[in-house]
Amino acid sequence: MHVTVEALSTDNQDTQEQKQEIADKAFAGLALGLSGVGLGTWLILGLRQQHQKQLMSHLQSTFYRLVEEQRGQISLLRFAKEAEITGEEAKLFLDSKAKEFNATFDHSRDGGVYYHFHL
């Protein structure tokens, strides 16, 4: 930013050498700024990917633990509560597991959804 202000505030009597120096400073500042943005983006994407892996690991372990504890029957509400995720996220996860393991599901009288995984 300092280089931009300096470039705008110089009068037209600057020598070619001074103009080149200002241009070099502007290029260096731009290169440094872009490399910082690139590094920051790379770090954020890496952290996001790490978070996704941790979340999937948490969901998997919660799922297998509940399958064991409940002898193959998992309610949507209980899974969402145990995994600490929303009902929609729990439904998407359990639906994918139901397809993977040929599970069935049904609705209780009170409106709850239960998945039955055959052990």
Is the pTM above the cut of 0.75? no
Rounded CA separation 59/49 (Å): 15
The single-letter DSSP state of residue 113 is E
Question: How many CB atoms sit inside 10 A of residue 94's CB?
Answer: 25
Q: Could you identify the residue written with the tokens 């490399």?
A: 35
Give the pLDDT confidence of 14-27 residue by residue, as tens digits.
Answer: 677 777 777 777 77
pLDDT tens digits for range 54-75: 999 999 999 999 999 999 999 9
